[in-house]
A and B are shown apart, each in its own frame.
Chain A
Amino acid sequence: MKVKMTKREVPFNIISCIILLIIGLVMISPFIIMVIFSLERYANLQPPFPITFSIQEPSFFNFKIILENGDILTAYINSFIVAIGSVAINLFSVMLAGFAFSKGKFAGKKIMLAIILATMMIPFETRMIPMYLMFTKFGLKNNFLALILPSIVDGFGILLVKGFFDTIPDSLMEAAQIDGCNKWQIFIKIFVPFTGPIAATLIILKFMASWNSLLWPLVILTDKSKQTVPIFISSFATENGSRLAGSTMAAAFLGIIPVVLVFLLLQKHIIESIATTGLKE
């Protein structure tokens, strides 16, 4: 990579680069001690304090303890089922609605869009109790559907997709209509093939949100065999935290790995998605 710099810029770049790298190192230092603790053979008996940034006796013993009782594997599978289900149902519903709001002409369009936007501001906690009672009544407590189904309504996703379809000229739609295509065919054959980047954004954000969520799973999944990764980690940490430092860190490590791998693979796209959408959570 060639970089052009004027003479005055060289010292500024080097100095600020070094300072930011040091701060950046501080930022990721918690992860470094996480790795050290989890690989330290006797960290469960005696946490390796004071912190030294070196491993006395490297071993996978702490991971073995975590993996042997099998709960984390179940939690992993559960989290994947929930995340994939949520992403699929969300994508399906949001693409259809975004298309209708962008290209459709029908009575009540503006009002419906306004209602969807207004409901985005209502915090989940306000809806949580009736949703718990409703899912329990339908026998869906401890069922992943209770976590997956609510992803069907997503005002933010609709806005994103609508904005994206708005950039595709209406003339494309009119031309296809003249050729005798119906709306469904136009949507599937002409519009969906364009949606690669916006779909990737939605998949990434929704997957991460699902993988991270704690409160709603904690409420609806009380059965131990149904717990997701965040529930597993938090219950392991509160039960054993200070006693089994090594294995607690190993559990956190295993919870972080999939997200960090996805991030390293799709770094640019993820940063861009979050920067343009401004989405948190």
Chain B
Amino acid sequence: MRNTTKKLRDHDNTWYLFLLPTILGLLLFTAYPILESFRLSFFKSNGTIEEFIGLQNYTYIFNNDLFWKTVWNTFYITFFQLLIGIPIAYIIACIINELKICKNFIKSLFFIPYITPVVASATVFLFVLHPSGLLNSFIGLFGVEPINWLLYPTTAQWGTIIFSNWQALGFYIIIILANLQSIPTELDKAAQVDGATKIQIWWHITTPLMKGTFRFLIIMGWISGLQRFSDVYVLGGAQGSPARSLFTIVGFIYERGFGSFEFGVASAAAYVLFAIIAIFTIVNMTLTNLKKEQ
């Protein structure tokens, strides 16, 4: 009894004043827009005239080939980005971790693309992916014929994958490095005494310990990949050219919302995006958790 009265006295309503800006912000810029967007997704609306149409926006989206194309494009680019980027970053980070010289300089070299504004670096990539641009000169060194990257759907998507890996590699490396440094060195030494080679230690001891880091990078990668917009907007324009191959889910929301002012359809698409992100996050978390327990 005495405990509860003490607790009550400790509680102090002036704390809410400290939270006032956050609470106001949450109500105005989070709670209201989420509910309003949900409401709008059941209406035909151009911002002034509204009409309740039930689930029609959702059925429209699910029957819309272009929407499914944006889902496919978004998934395709993000999947290959992560599949290629994370292993490469892991190998580079492990080498950097062993380095004794010019460590920081190399870290910065890899990191600069990540901190440059996406719009500016994607603009530079218009000339990297140009038929006589940098990428073709580079692959030309290995005898590969020049490719007109931004002219064909598949190569445009791969150009975007190359761009986003170039851009995000430094981020993966920094995160992996930070986690590599937190691995206790005793394990390595014990294995070395047992006669294991460096490569064996790396593959059998270090790599399994990095599971949590990979999971983090995969989840973060999917969340930001599903919201891809800025880079494809520069590389492929608002239409996601060529042939809508760089048109993403967010591009679809943008076009329907602010190109043709179909706020109902755009809101429904935004909710579908929300659902996809939620499902992906949950699936990623449970899948990687299960493996950990086994």
Measured CB to CB, the residues of A under 8 A from B are: 3-5, 9, 12-14, 16-17, 19-21, 23-31, 33-34, 37, 47, 49-51, 89, 92-94, 96-97, 99-100, 104-107, 112, 115-116, 119, 121-134, 136, 149-150, 152-153, 158, 183, 187, 208, 211-212, 214-215, 218-219, 229-230, 233-234, 237-238, 241-242, 245, 248-249, 251-253, 255-256, 259-260, 263, 267-268, 270-271, 274-276, 278, 280-281
Contacts and interface: CB of A to CB of B under 8 A. Distances in A.
Interface of B: 10-16, 18-22, 24-26, 28-34, 36-37, 40, 47, 92, 95-96, 98-102, 104, 106-113, 115-121, 123-128, 130, 132-134, 137-138, 166, 168-171, 174-175, 177-178, 216, 220, 223-224, 226-227, 229-230, 233-234, 237, 250, 253-254, 257-258, 263, 266-267, 270-271, 273-274, 277-278, 281
A274 B118 CA distance: 17
Contact of B224 (A27, A99, A230, A281): A281
A27 B109 contact: yes
A90 to B, nearest CB: 10
12 contacts: A27-B113, A30-B128, A49-B132, A96-B21, A126-B37, A129-B267, A152-B21, A208-B115, A230-B117, A230-B120, A248-B126, A267-B108
Contacts of B34: 119, 122, 126-127
Nearest to B249: A125
B13 to A, nearest CB: 7
Nearest to B166: A27
Contacts of B14: 183
A26 B106 CA distance: 12
A260 to B, nearest CB: 7
A20 B177 CA distance: 15
Contacts of A115: 26
Contact of A33 (B29, B134, B171): B134
B224 A17 contact: no
Contact of A249 (B124, B138, B177, B223): B124
Contact of A129 (B40, B178, B237): B40
A263 B115 contact: yes
B22 A153 contact: yes
A32 to B, nearest CB: 9
Given A152-B22, A237-B234, A248-B123, A130 B33 contact: yes
A105 B12 contact: yes
